[in-house]
Amino acid sequence: MSFIETEEQTALRAAVRSAVESYGDAYNEEHARNGHSMTELWKELGQAGFLGVNIPEEYGGGGAGMYELSLVLEEMSSLGAPLLMMVVSPAICGTIITRYGTQDQKERWLPGFTDGSTVMAFGITEPDAGSNSHNISTVAKREGDEWVLNGRKIYVTGVNNADYVLIVARLVDERSGRLKPAMFVLPRETPGFEYTEIEMDIVESERQYLLFMDDVRLPADALVGGDEAPLAALFAGLNPERIMAAALATGISRYAIGKATSYMKERNVWGQPIAQHQGLAHPLAKCHIEVELAKLMYQKAAFIYDSGDDTAAGEAANMAKYAAAEASIAALDQSIQSLGGAGLSKEYGLAMHLGVARIGRVAPVSREMILNYIGQHSLGLPKSY
């Protein structure tokens, strides 16, 4: 493993920066504040191939891995444009279909993930199951050539922009008679499917939705991976989800620390720049160190994931998501402090990202559930719940 990025990876970072910078801070801010999706930016990223860097070349993608996709999101977020939909559509859904979709499913959806023309949301969380995803009650029953889905989902990101939602449901295993997880691609306009927006108190360009499935009928081939519906297909999406969440948190931290350092060098209230006060410089330096450590961990997770070891990647991806979320909350908080009152003003556009950083402690998996996982799987401690 090299700690030095390749020429291609460095060039990818620069190309993403140049594409996002051309929109400018004002574009990102205006969309986030008004809850409008950054559709134009999404399209441009898709056309440039950035959204599909992880998709195999035979489907029009870049043929690279999660390392490259996560660096795209890190760079975007470092410019104040954290696109949550990148975690969901190309990373979770794109990976699941690439690894477990049937040939027909790959041909149907992967080219669209690559150029951004197909957007897929991902619904697993349920109102009555929450973190306990083993307890989901969305059920799929087979009726002739169709699947019939009933259930509810909550906090599903970006359904308003999605052509499809990848729904995690349960179906009866023919052999054991027990319920097992399975995923279905549900076109958004299917009869029986409804979605309503949940009002959130976060300044972010993506909206969150409550989903209702009431006798939603889907064709047999809506089941991802065919009749075997392996649990592994679901797990395939979880590591990319955590790696991408860590990349987003890393980027948003860089954005905040960058704003704080520029301000501290300029601001002068005692005859010298406030940057000279160690009371400000040290905590910001500490944040920088913690962000760099978290970045290293997500890069390690992506590297292991791309080399094909899902189990080892699981531990690293959970640690990376935890570390990056905690580092970003601290970085946003300290950066706001560095600007004093300006840190909380609209003009400097910093405080609005605190909510985005704060998402990382709850989603896609909460801080506590990661600590449970590490306690149990890394340290061999007993399960507490």
Ligand X SMILES: Cc1cc2nc3c(=O)[nH]c(=O)nc-3n(C[C@H](O)[C@H](O)[C@H](O)COP(=O)(O)OP(=O)(O)OC[C@H]3O[C@@H](n4cnc5c(N)ncnc54)[C@H](O)[C@@H]3O)c2cc1C
Residues in contact with ligand X by CB under 6 A are 88, 122-125, 130-131, 155-157, 208, 359, 362-366, 368-369, 372, 385
CA–CA dist 247, 253 (Å, integer): 10
Q: How far is the CB of 144 from ligand X (least distance, A)?
A: 29
Query: Which residue's CB is nearer to ligand X, number 200 or number 296?
Result: 200
User: Minimal distance in Å, beta carbon 97 to ligand X?
Assistant: 16
Q: Is 22 exposed, middle or buried (0-12, 13-18, 19+ CB in 10 A)?
A: exposed
* CB-CB contact of 187 with 200 (8 Å): no
**Residue nearest ligand X by beta-carbon distance:** 130
Distances (CA, A) of 21 to 15, 73, 110: 10, 14, 27
H or E segment to which residue 293 belongs: helix 278-306
Q: How far is the CB of 227 from ligand X (least distance, A)?
A: 24
Q: Return the DSSP state at 35.
A: T
Residue number with CB closer to ligand X (242 or 300): 242
Tell me how far, at minimum, the Cβ of 385 lies from ligand X, in Å: 4
Cβ distance to ligand X smaller for residue 92 or 294? 92
DSSP assignment of 269-287: SSSSBGGG-HHHHHHHHHH
Between 55 and 84, name the residue whose CB sits nearer to ligand X: 84
C-alpha 263/C-alpha 323 separation (Å) is 26
For residue 123, the minimal CB distance to ligand X (Å) is: 5
Would you say 155 or 164 has its CB closer to ligand X? Answer: 155
Q: In the complex, what is the shortest distance from the CB of residue 306 to ligand X, in angstroms, rounded to a whole number? A: 23
Residue closer to ligand X (CB basis): 84 or 330? 84
Per-residue b/e over 348-366, b at no fewer than 16 CB within 10 Å? bbbbbbbebbbbbbebbbb
Joined tokens for residue 117? 């023309």
Closest contact distance (angstroms) between CB of 214 and ligand X is: 19
Measuring CA to CA, which residue among 231, 237, 235, 213 is closest to residue 141? 213
Of 165 and 274, which has the nearer Cβ to ligand X?
A: 165
> Tokens 């709850």 appear where?
362
Q: Which residues, 6+ apart, have CB-to-CB distance to 108 below 8 Å? A: none
